[in-house]
Amino acid sequence: MSLLTVDAITVAYGRSKVVNDVSIEVPAGSIVCLMGRNGVGKTTTLNAIVGLLPLVSGAIRFNGERIERKAPHKRIEGGIGYVPQGHQVFPRLTTEENLRVVLERNRSMDPAAYDEALDLFPALATMLGRPAGLLSGGQAKQLAIARALLGRPELLILDEPTEGIQPSIIGEIEDAIVGLHATTGVSILLVEQYVEFALRLAEHYVVMEDGSVIDAGKTGDGDLERFSDLVTV
C-alpha cells in the first residue's frame, strides 16, 4: 500500500504553472528519490506536499486520507517530517536548544525522541553547546534532519541533503539515513541531484523535467549513466 499518493498535482506561482499534473507514489516503508535538473519543480512539489503552497488541481493522500486542504502543521503532526533545502536551523541557538525548542513547542512529542535523534548523528552529540550558526554546513544539515525526526515521522521528506556538503560528511548523512530506515522503517521521499547517492539509497525513482514527470520506476531497472544524463545540467 502507498503511504503517500501525490495524484496529478498542478502548482503555480501566480499565473505561472511550474508543476503540471505530477504524480508520485511512496510505498509504505520505501525510499523514493525525486530527481531532475535545477529549476524543474522539485522543491515546489515538496512544498505543495507539506502544505506550504496550495494546489491548482490534483489530490494528495497520506495513509489513505486526503490532506491537500490541511494546514502545514496538521500535516507535520499527522506524521510528515520535512527537511527543506538549505540550512534551516536557528543560528543563535545552540545545537541542543535547536532540538529542545521543537520538543517544548510540541507537547505531543515524546522527549525520548531527543536521544534517538542524537544517536543517529554522533558528531552532533559533541557539539550540543555550540551555536548552530557556527556549525559546518554538513553539521547544520545533520541538525536539521535530527530536528525533523523529533516527531517520529512516518514519512521523512528531504530536499537535497547532500547539497554543498563535503564528501566525508555525505558519508555520515548516508549512514544516518540508512540506519534510520533500517531501525524505524520510516518511509523517505528524497530530492537529490547526486545520482550515485540517490541510487544507493532509493528503491524507486521519479524524474522531473520542466514541471512534469518524464520517467519513473525501480532504481534497479536503470543504469547510472542514463540517470546522470537526465539529471545533470
Q: Which residues bind ligand ATP (CB under 6 A)?
A: 13, 18, 36, 38-44, 85
Q: How far is the CB of 149 from ligand ATP (least distance, A)?
A: 23
- 5 sits near Mg ion (criterion: CB under 5 A): no
As measured in angstroms, the least distance from the Cβ of 191 to Mg ion is 6
Instruction: Give yes or no for a contact between 122 and 128, defined as CB atoms under 8 angstroms apart.
Output: no
Q: Which is nearer to ligand ATP, 39 or 179 (CB)?
A: 39
83: helix, strand or coil: strand
The CB-side HSE value for 34 (13 A sphere, CA atoms) comes to 28
The strand order across the sheet containing 155-159 reads: 80-83, 155-159, 187-191, 31-35, 204-209, 212-218
Q: Which does 39 bind (CB under 5 to 8 A by kind): ligand ATP, Mg ion, none?
A: ligand ATP
The answer to whether residues 90 and 98 touch, using CB atoms and an 8 Å cutoff, is yes
Cβ nearer to ligand ATP, comparing 19 with 118? 19
18 binds, among Mg ion, ligand ATP, none (CB under 5 to 8 A by kind): ligand ATP
Whole-number minimum distance, CB 158 to ligand ATP, in Å? 13
Binding letters toward Mg ion, positions 41-60, x by CB under 5 A: -xx-----------------
Query: What are the phi and psi torsion angles at 160 (to 5°)?
Result: 55, 65
Shortest spacing between CB 159 and ligand ATP, in angstroms: 7
Q: Considering CB distances under 5 to 8 angstroms, the limit depending on partner class, which of ligand ATP, Mg ion, none binds residue 41? A: ligand ATP
How many distinct helices (H) and strands (E) make up the chain? 9, 10
Shortest distance, position 75 Cβ to ligand ATP, whole Å: 18
CB-CB contact of 153 with 81 (8 Å): yes
Give first-to-last CA distance, the chain, whole Å.
35
38 binds, among ligand ATP, Mg ion, none (CB under 5 to 8 A by kind): ligand ATP
- Rule CB under 5 A: which of 73-102 touch Mg ion? 85
Q: How far is the CB of 146 from ligand ATP (least distance, A)?
A: 22
Question: What residue spans of the chain are helical by DSSP H?
Answer: 42-50, 72-77, 95-105, 113-120, 122-125, 137-148, 167-184, 195-201, 224-231
Residue ranges binding Mg ion (CB under 5 A): 42-43, 85
